[in-house]
Amino acid sequence: MSNEIGVLLPNGVPGCTGETLRTWIREIEDGPFSSLGVADRYVYVNHEIMMTMAAAAALTARVRLMTAAFLGPLRPTPLFAKQVATLTALAPGRVSLGVAVGNRVNDYEAAGIPWERRGRIMDDQLRALAALRDLKGEDNAVGPELGEIELLIGGASDPALRRLLEHGDGLVSGGLKPEVFAFEAFAAGQAWEGAGRPGRPRLVASTWYASGEKAGDLAEARLASYLKNGGPPEHVISGIARGRDGIEAAFRGYRAQGADEVLFFPLLDDPAELEWLAAVIGDLPDVERGAPAPDFSLFDNTPDMKGRHG
C-alpha cells in the first residue's frame, strides 16, 4: 500500500507568475506526488486551466495531470471536447479529467451562458467527449481522437450521480470537511452498486493547505478572497490544513472516509510551500483506506445535503 497524495498548482494565487508555475510543475514531477492538479475559475485572477494543463503536460512525463475541476459549461462544447482530446495526446495515459458545473453565478454571467442551462450543457459535453473515442480517421469531425482518460464527476446531486453512472470513473470533491466528503463518497458508492457497475468508483478529495500554523495570516486572507463569490457553504468547508499535524490529520480523515487520493491546494505560491509539503508527505506512514460512513445527525439543523452541483 502507498499513499496517493496530489497537489494543485498555485495558478489561482494572485500574482503568481508563469515562471513560478513552471518551477512548481518541475518540482511536482520530481517529488512524491501522485497527481498535479489545476483548479478552474472564470471571473478571477487565475491562469486559464487548459493552457496551464498543456504547459504541465509539456514539462512532465511521470505525474498524473488532473483538472479539479474543469468547469466545462463555460466553454463551447466543441472547444471543450477538442481541448480535452488534445490534452490526452499531449500526456497519454496520464489525464484525470475532473468536471463540474460550478456554483458561481458571476462566472456564467461573464461567459454569457444562462445559469439554468449549465447542467444540460454538461450533459451535451460528456456525450460529445464520448463521441471522440473512435473517429476512424474521419475528415469532418471535431478531434483529435480521445485518448485514455479517467473521468471524475464533481458533486453528488442526482444529476451528478447520473453523469457518474453514464460517463464517469469516480468522484472529485473539493473543499469539504472529511465528515462531509463522506456523504458524497457514500452517495457515489451506493449509486454505483445500485447500477450494477463492477468494482467501485474512484474517490478523490481535496483541501487547502499552508505550512504556517498561525491563524489570520496571508493564507487565510487568500482563502477568503478565493471563496468571496462562491465555494462550499461555511458549515461544510474544510478550512486550511496547517502544519505537519494538520496535513496528516486531513489525510487520515479523508482516507478514513474512503478517499483513494487526496489533493492539497496551496494558498501561497512560494516554492518553499511545495518543498515543505513534499517533505511532510515523504514522512507520512501508509494510511489504510476506510469505507464512507456519513453521520446524518451532523445536519439535523443545517441545510440538506443533496449535493452541490446540479
Residue 309: its pLDDT value, please? 39
pLDDT tens by residue, the chain, 310 residues: 489 999 999 999 999 999 999 999 999 999 999 999 999 999 999 999 999 999 999 999 999 999 999 999 999 999 999 999 999 999 999 999 999 999 999 999 999 999 999 999 999 999 999 999 988 777 777 889 999 999 999 999 999 999 999 999 999 999 999 999 999 999 999 999 999 999 999 999 999 999 999 988 999 999 999 998 877 788 899 999 999 999 999 999 999 999 999 999 999 999 999 999 999 999 999 999 999 999 988 766 655 544 443 4
Whether 207 contacts 173, CB under 8 Å: no
Positive or negative, the CA dihedral 297, 299, 304, 309 is negative
In order, the DSSP letters of 168-204 are -SEEE--SB-HHHHHHHHHHHHHHHHHTT-SS--EEE
- Residue 263 sits at φ, ψ, to 5 deg, of -105, 135
Residue 232: its pLDDT value, please? 77
Residue 302: its pLDDT value, please? 57
Alpha-carbon span 101 to 160, nearest angstrom: 9
User: Burial level of 204, CB count in 10 A (0-12/13-18/19+)?
Assistant: buried
